[in-house]
């Protein structure tokens, strides 16, 4: 081990930064965030340092390096563009037994600054010992994506509960189960993020009073329209924590490959005209799994609240007082349009967007005259089987028959296929594509040839 990893408390302690250029600015920001009493020495100072000095955030030492600047310092950073000066700073610090960081020669330094993931009070540092800083940065970026932003708030609250946990739970195993539930509680995390301390107290009390062995929860997670890269970070985190994944046909294999390896997977896929698992049975399944103490993720294609029947599933959970949370996903309208080079709105073409289910009711409740209005974009979900009716009703209610239309099959996936034409061809075009497909109707479709990127 070339370097001993150590977190230092610098609040109120004098630190010296030699240099006042761009690189020094980055080091200064880190030291100021740590609460250091920062002194900066250099012949000239960048505007940022002058502003900090005016705000009394730093103390400036004009001139060339003087070993006397080291008096009373706990840490020194040499960040000039002159290697000779940096070496002089390092040698002077060594004589006075003060740790020194050299920005351009970390392997010669007595201290190094790692890549930092800040979820205060939780801190994660990554270092390659100065040998591969780009690798350390890339690893930090991966960790940033894995660690939720709210972890710091959870850690802060956890620190106030340690005595209470020890008093209530006698065994180490019971404490471990409590803390796992605590840190995995999406409701608590969201409440803390919203600054609702009263609600956070209620959720915390519920965690203490619940039977740890039987306490389960459900998260409705939008998986997006197909491309795994469109999955949200929060959705990914919950998928990797889940005990059970309940998923439908629209969830791609690429996304399922990101699920925790040992999680149980339950398929409840549906197709138009054929329901593998009825909705009531899905609702019951979610409740049963949660009541067994499982962390359940209901993984839905697109967004759970846009034609995903997520509201019905939450109603069933709420009736049994089962904790739940919702993670939005990129809906098919947005994803498919973007990947097809079709802007849903455009100042010259459409000032509004309407998302419509293609499962048309026999009673004909759709306001076709409103849907046929100008200067808007229509997006029909699950509309292939009703393409002829959609075509007929829109034209009948005043939409021009040559209005551009696009049908997007397997949108955002590697199998995406787009078929374009006009409204009077819609029924015929629908026969050329397979489900799942999305219909986009409006003059914005005419922009596709100039805006599509693949």
Backbone torsions φ then ψ of 175, nearest 5 degrees: -65, -40
pLDDT of residue 452: 65
pLDDT at 331: 95
Confidence (pLDDT) at 215: 65
83 assigned binding-site residue? no
Q: Is 280 annotated as a binding residue?
A: no
Active site residue 83: no
Does the annotation place 332 within a ligand binding site? Answer: yes
Instruction: Determine the pLDDT at residue 212.
Output: 59
Architecture of domain 14-113: 3-Layer(aba) Sandwich (3.40)
Q: Is 47 annotated as a binding residue?
A: no
Q: CA torsion angle for 229, 230, 235, 237 (degrees, to 10)?
A: 20
pLDDT at residue 363 in the model: 46
Domain pair 148-210 / 216-330, same fold? no
Instruction: Please give the CATH superfamily to which domain 333-451 belongs.
Output: Tetrapyrrole methylase, C-terminal domain (3.30.950.10)
User: Which candidate in 248, 253, 262, 280 is catalytic?
Assistant: 248
Residue 302 in marked binding region: yes
- How far out from the chain centre does Cα 348 lie? 33
Q: Per-residue pLDDT tens, the chain, 454 aa: give them.
A: 788 888 899 999 999 999 999 899 999 999 999 999 999 999 999 999 999 999 999 999 999 999 999 999 999 999 999 999 999 999 999 999 999 999 877 677 899 888 888 888 888 888 887 778 888 888 888 888 777 777 888 899 999 999 999 999 888 767 877 887 788 787 888 888 888 889 999 989 988 887 655 668 899 999 999 999 999 988 998 998 888 999 998 898 899 999 988 899 999 986 555 557 889 999 999 999 999 888 899 999 999 999 989 999 999 999 998 989 999 999 999 999 999 999 999 999 999 999 999 876 554 578 899 999 989 999 999 999 999 999 999 999 999 999 999 999 999 998 999 999 999 999 999 999 998 999 999 999 999 988 765 4
439 a known binding residue?
Answer: no
Superfamily of domain 148-210 in CATH is Sirohaem synthase, dimerisation domain (1.10.8.210)
Please give the angle made by the CA atoms of 158, 234 and 208, to the nearest 5 degrees: 30
State yes or no: is 243 an active-site residue. no
44 appears as a binding residue in the annotation: yes
**Domain 216-330: what homologous superfamily?**
Tetrapyrrole methylase, N-terminal domain (3.40.1010.10)
Rounded CA-CA distance 92/94 in Å is 5
Residue 55's alpha-carbon distances to 41, 50, 51, 60, in angstroms, are: 17, 9, 6, 12
- CA dist 303 to 189, 329, 377, Å? 21, 4, 19
411 annotated binding-site participant: yes
CA distance 424 to 390: 10
> Domain segments of the chain: what residues?
14-113, 148-210, 216-330, 333-451
Provide the whole-model pTM: 0.63
Look at residues 257, 226, 216 and name the one whose alpha carbon lies nearest to residue 239.
Answer: 257
The backbone torsions φ and ψ at residue 372, rounded to the nearest 5 degrees and listed phi first, read: -85, 5
pLDDT at 271: 54
Rounded to whole angstroms, what are the CA distances from 454 to 250, 255, 406, 423, 432? 22, 22, 16, 24, 20
Q: Which long-range contacts (CB under 8 A, 24 or more apart) does 387-390 make?
A: 387/426, 387/427, 387/429, 387/430, 387/439, 388/426, 388/427, 388/430, 389/360, 390/358, 390/360, 390/426, 390/439
Residue 222 annotated as lining a ligand binding site: no
98 φ, ψ (degrees, to nearest 5): -115, 130
Binding residue per annotation — 282?
A: no
């Amino acid at each position: 081990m070339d370097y001993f990893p150590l977190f230092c408390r610098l609040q109120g302690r004098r630190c010296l930064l030699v240099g006042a250029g761009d690189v020094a600015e980055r080091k200064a920001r880190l030291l100021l965030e740590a609460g250091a009493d920062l002194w900066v020495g250099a012949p000239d100072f960048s505007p940022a340092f002058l502003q900090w000095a005016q705000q009394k955030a730093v103390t400036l030492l004009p001139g060339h390096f003087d070993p006397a600047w080291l008096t009373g310092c706990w840490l020194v950073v040499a960040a000039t563009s002159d290697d000779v000066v940096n070496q002089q700073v390092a040698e002077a610090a060594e004589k006075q037994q003060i740790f020194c960081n050299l920005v351009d020669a970390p392997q010669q330094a007595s201290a190094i600054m790692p890549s930092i993931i800040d979820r205060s009070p939780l801190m994660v540092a990554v270092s390659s010992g100065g040998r591969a800083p780009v690798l350390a940065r890339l690893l930090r970026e991966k960790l940033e994506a894995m660690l939720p932003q709210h972890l710091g708030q959870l850690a802060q609250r956890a620190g106030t509960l340690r005595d209470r946990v020890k008093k209530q739970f006698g065994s180490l195993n019971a404490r471990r189960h409590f803390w796992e539930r605590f840190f995995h509680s999406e409701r608590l995390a969201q409440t803390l993020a919203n600054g609702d301390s009263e609600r956070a107290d209620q959720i915390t009390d519920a965690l203490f009073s619940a039977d740890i062995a039987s306490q389960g929860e459900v998260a409705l997670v939008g998986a997006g329209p197909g491309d795994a890269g469109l999955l949200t970070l929060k959705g990914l985190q919950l998928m990797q924590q889940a005990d059970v994944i309940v998923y439908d046909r629209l969830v791609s294999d690429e996304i399922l490959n990101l699920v925790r390896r040992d999680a149980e997977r339950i398929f409840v896929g549906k197709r138009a005209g054929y329901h593998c698992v009825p909705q009531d049975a899905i609702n019951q399944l979610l409740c049963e799994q949660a009541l067994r103490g499982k962390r359940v993720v209901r993984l839905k294609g697109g967004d759970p609240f846009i034609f995903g029947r997520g509201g019905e599933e939450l109603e069933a959970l709420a009736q049994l007082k089962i904790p739940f949370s919702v993670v939005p996903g990129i809906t098919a309208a947005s994803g498919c349009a973007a990947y097809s080079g079709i802007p849903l709105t455009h100042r010259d073409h459409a000032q509004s967007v309407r998302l419509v289910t293609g499962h048309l009711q026999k009673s004909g409740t759709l306001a076709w005259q409103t849907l046929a209005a100008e200067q808007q974009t229509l997006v029909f979900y699950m509309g292939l089987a009703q393409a002829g009716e959609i075509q007929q009703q829109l034209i009948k209610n005043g939409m021009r028959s040559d209005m551009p239309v696009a049908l997007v099959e397997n949108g955002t996936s590697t199998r995406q296929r787009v078929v374009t034409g006009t409204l009077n061809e819609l029924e015929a075009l629908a026969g050329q594509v397979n489900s799942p497909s999305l219909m986009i109707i409006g003059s914005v479709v005419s922009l596709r040839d100039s805006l599509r990127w693949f």
